[in-house]
Chains A and B, each alone.
Chain A
Amino acid sequence: MSSRDRILARVRAALADVPRTETPEDVEVPRAYDRSRSGPDVVELLIDRLVDYRAVVREVTDVVAAVADALARRGAHRVAAPAGVPAAWLGGVQAVRDDPALSAADLDALDGVVTGCAVAVAETGTIVLDCAEDQGRRALTLIPDYHLCVVRRDRIVRTVPEALTRLDPSRPQTWISGPSATSDIELDRVEGVHGPRTLEVLITPAL
């Protein structure tokens, strides 16, 4: 008998009180919570929450100009960009495409990274990346110290349940809610540990 079989046998023995005819679905799960909610404008809410996390956030109409402006202000001259970020966004800067894949050391030497996003959750101020073409693989948004994320208005939802229904579990995901932070020292929040220390968000019109 393998450990697997022994563990499963012990689980079944432990559950001797569960009627044999009971199925998982027979255990009722009350869903008396909100999957969606009404409330303030989602864009305003998202901005409010991002500001609360001390992320830099702006609503813009001209993406090209806004990206160039943000990178210039940051002093980011060499930035990484996943294959699917439109070239037009990067008009004014030297973008290093992650194709072929950059090494960790290469990424560490860059000034930042520019990506899109899969979904943004207004209530929690969360940006979700799912490694789609305009977001790239996970290391890309992890190693550079500055992450400029372009969020289209139509990608913004209000609640966490709404976000999950838009996402595909088979894709690797990173949910980002503000810059890297720790509260491990006397519960004082300190921003900037291992992840990007600066998160900047540009909210653009829907396509």
Chain B
Amino acid sequence: MATFIGMPAFPEASARAVGDAQLRHNLRKATHTIRARRAAVVAEQPDWAGLRAAGAAIKDRTLRHLDVYLERLESAVTAAGGHVHWAEDAAEADRIVVDLVRATGETEVVKVKSMATQEIDLNAALAAAGIRAYETDLAELIVQLGDDLPSHILVPAIHRNRAEIREIFSGRMASWGRPAPEGLTDDPRALAEAARLHLRERFLRAKVGISGANFAVAETGTLVVLESEGNGRMCVTLPETLISVVGIEKIVPTWRDLEVFLQLLPRSSTGERMNPYTSMWTGATEGQEFHLVLVDNGRTSVLADRVGRQALRCIRCSACLNVCPVYERAGGHAYGSVYPGPIGAILTPQLRGLTGPLEESLPYASTLCGACYDVCPVAINIPEVLLDLRAKVVAGDHRAERLAMGAARRVLDHPKWLALAQRSVGRLRRWTPRHLPGPLSAWSDTREVPVPPRESFRDWWARRAGEEGGR
């Protein structure tokens, strides 16, 4: 099974992606399409700024009083006949879900796309327990059949084009169930139809469904899942047992608060005024057995960081990915986690801690261009969190860079030393190398090195002042 474990640091992984012309083409086309769609539907919403400010504030209210809301949610769900479970980490969450499925006696489950279950690598845990999990979202199906990894929050197979998807379906569907039709073409309509046929039977006889949730309303115990294809409705409606795995930060305080998020999320995410289907249910519904698994898995550490805490406002819309110039070229896999793009660059190092080269490289996987902050529907200041994380990274062991930065600061902190340094490079300007040594070669590999001037600005200023004074 494909895994993010042991991924190289961002610069190496992204360098590989940058060299993949097919991937670059797929990503460019997809991100530019969705970017334009989002911009159009956000522009037509006259009160967007007000919704965005309200969305951020509602999430802040929730986070600052998360203990209150968690308990409120628990009692509302319980009162409505649901069962609430608490998982401190991925392993515990996996164990809870495996035990719940085992208790039903089933060995198959249908899953609606959920970031939380990807984060805890639930499918692997289920497989180890002899339970087969069938992904039912079209893009997740592509990823699962291709033994691949997701590369986008909303469109996990964004890195694949139609020809590649046709190949995966034709080659792999048979080993998971109903084979792809003979002579399958790469027309997206034909591919979607193949997925419909492949999954139809499975939906109709599934006994256990597993979902995440976009929102959990503390006041009423209502869970909310937004989707497009109808696979979500199938998974949450038809099975006798429904298990929803939800991060503790997915809470909104009240029913009324949904009026903000049901406007912010679809427009930011798929670029639609509203996504085709939204399911809402409260506790055990229509005779179903309902389990809610609340997952921490690092979220309380994020909550403890006063700057980084804002990352928990995230509603997983993926607008920041779609607008990010780095994501567009690096692709999602380079971020080494189920959370790619700008939000991943701040979320992954916080959820996992700055524990390795990958996590330490992520805060630097940005030019700080600020496009992510502009489009974020809950106003997460991603550049601010990146900068804060960078300060934490360099507090660790980075001697060579620290020495260089210290030397630069000492020169820059003394105008006279700066002037001396400027004059010496000015004198050596004829020998400006085309190729720089060491880490600086990263610059000169593709760009010309600027030739220093004969005279710095400050020397020109001093000379001019002298000449004027002498006149």
Contact = CB atoms under 8 A, between A and B. Distances in A.
A57 to B, nearest CB: 15
Given A137-B286, A142-B230, A194-B199, A7 B277 contact: no
A8 B67 contact: yes
A180 B277 contact: yes
A176 interface: yes
Nearest to B141: A184
A186 B188 contact: yes
A33 B86 contact: no
Interface string A172-185: 11111111111111
A121 B274 CA distance: 10
B359 interface: no
A72 interface: no
Interface string B51-70: 10110011011101111111
B142 A175 contact: no
Nearest to A24: B65
A160 B263 CA distance: 7
Interface in B65-100: 65-71, 80, 86-88, 92
Contacts of B62: 24
Interface in B390-424: none
B238 A104 contact: yes
Interface stretch (A10-18, A59-67, A80-88, A89-97): A10-18
Interface string A6-46: 11101111111110001110011111111101000000000
Given A33-B260, A186-B29, A11 B138 contact: no
B259 A29 contact: no
Contact of B162 (A18, A105, A137, A185): A185
A-side interface size class: 35 or more
Contact size range, B: 35 or more
B33 A187 contact: yes
B123 interface: no
Nearest to B165: A185
Contacts of B258: 164
B230 A180 contact: yes
Interface stretch (B301-309, B444-452, B453-461): B301-309
The A interface, classified by DSSP as helix, strand, loop or mixed, is loop
B361 interface: no
Nearest to B259: A161
B233 interface: yes
Nearest to B270: A183
Summarize B's interface: helix, strand, loop or mixed: helix
Interface in B155-196: 155, 157-158, 161-162, 165, 188-189, 191-193, 195-196
B278 A32 contact: no
Contact of A124 (B46, B274, B279, B306): B274
A112 interface: no
A194 B136 contact: yes
Contacts of A173: 278-281
Interface in B246-287: 248, 253, 255-256, 258-260, 262-263, 266, 270, 272-282, 285-286
B228 A182 contact: yes
Contacts of B266: 124
Given A123-B273, A185-B138, A31 B30 contact: no
A31 B64 CA distance: 19
A102 interface: no
B118 interface: no
Interface of B: 26, 29-30, 33-34, 46-47, 49-51, 53-54, 57-58, 60-62, 64-71, 80, 86-88, 92, 136-139, 142, 155, 157-158, 161-162, 165, 188-189, 191-193, 195-196, 199-200, 203-205, 217, 219-220, 222, 228-231, 233-234, 237-238, 248, 253, 255-256, 258-260, 262-263, 266, 270, 272-282, 285-286, 294, 296, 300-301, 303-304, 306
Pick the 4 closest A-B CB pairs, nearest first.
A195-B230, A33-B50, A32-B50, A194-B230
17 contacts: A7-B86, A11-B67, A12-B67, A37-B46, A138-B279, A164-B259, A172-B281, A177-B272, A183-B228, A184-B137, A184-B138, A184-B157, A186-B26, A188-B188, A190-B192, A194-B136, A195-B233
